[in-house]
Amino acid sequence: MLKGQKALVTGANSGIGKATAIALGRAGADVVVNYVAGREDAEKVAEEITSFGGRAAVYEADVSDEDQVVAMLDRMIQDFGTIDILVANAGLQRDAPFTEMTLAQWQKVLDVNLTGQFLCAREATKEFLRRGVVPEVSSAAGKIVCMSSVHQLIPWAGHANYATSKGGLQMMMETLAQELAPQKIRVNAVAPGAIKTPINRSAWETPEARADLLRLIPYRRIGDPEDIANAVVGLSSDLMDYVVGTTLYVDGGMTLFPGFATGG
Ligand code: NAD
């Protein structure tokens, strides 16, 4: 489905990024596995991708550092020739009640979750514009998938920094989609609900936490990283060539106001 395409996945040595890098590789793409810490895990992901016959490489870069992002894209273009798909996935949480939230916690989350996606999208877009459409490869000059969250829509007490970063991301994604569509660049987002990864271990680890969480999910199952990875592969492929500026919620119905199933 993605044969001949070159993809970069940020934060690809864990959770959703890892599953996405592997799924893109399985779909035929060559993949750059970005990580900021944990090279061994990144190498394991790359090995799995090469086992499908594709090319993979691991690049260390902090997505919130402009020089490192510029260098990462330069290196990818040198090593792989170009970039066709950017999955801006890297993200983190630094939770605190509002009055206890430090400026450092606020800033770190915005730097990685929002500015990191801005920097990666900007550098990838420069290459998409330089190269233009190559019809044998894809109908689009490039595809960007922003990893957002249901918290671009659902306010989240105790996570003001995180919810703000994802809310901002929605407007960034939609603005880029509007600005770049005439150049045949498709920008979209995937908004996961509750997915079993290290970022939210406390929400699914104990039976009590699990039961609480399942009450928020009409489909009554916690998501797997592969649920998100499959959505990213779909959005990146030409099967979805007319999908521009959309957020695909992959959340088992979490955004359907489950409290109103019996109340209201
Ligand atoms: P995770 O902690 O398993 O993975 C996050 C990845 O981002 C890790 O590889 C981490 O090293 C990387 N990262 C962090 N800071 C980085 C930086 N400065 N530069 C490069 N990489 C960096 O968590 P995950 O659940 O897989 O999260 C992936 C994305 O999905 C995040 O954007 C997160 O907000 C989003 N998301 C997750 C869930 C969920 O339920 N797990 C729900 C909604 C959205």
Token match 């939609």: residue?
A: 174
Q: Is 162 labeled as catalytic in the residue annotation? A: yes
Taking alpha carbons only, the member of 107, 81, 84, 82 closest to residue 94 is 107
What are the pLDDT digits (tens) for 65-86? 999 999 999 999 999 999 999 9
Q: Please count the CA atoms within 13 angstroms of the CA of 113 that sit on its side-chain side.
A: 26
Whole-number pLDDT of residue 199: 87
Element (H, E) at 79: helix 66-80
19 pLDDT above the threshold of 90: yes
**CA angle, residues 21, 69, 95, in degrees to nearest 5:** 75
Mutate to test the pocket of ligand 1, among 8, 13, 16 (most ligand atoms within 8 A of CB): 16
pLDDT at 141: 98
Q: What separation in Å is there between the alpha carbon of 7 and the centre of ligand 1?
A: 17
**Residue in 162, 219, 242, 249 annotated catalytic:** 162
Condensed to tens digits (0 to 9), the pLDDT of residues 137-170 reads 999 999 999 999 999 999 999 999 999 999 999 9
pLDDT, position 101: 98
pLDDT band of residue 264 (cuts 50, 70, 90) is confident
Residue 119: pLDDT over 90:
yes
252 Cβ below 6 A of ligand 1: no
Instruction: Kindly report the protein residue whose alpha carbon is nearest to atom 32 of ligand 1.
Output: 91
Instruction: Output the average pLDDT for the chain.
Output: 97
Ordered domains of the chain (ranges, CATH): 6-251 (3.40.50.720)
Report CA(29)–ligand 1 centroid distance (Å).
Answer: 21
> Do residues 235 and 248 make contact, with C-beta atoms less than 8 angstroms apart?
yes
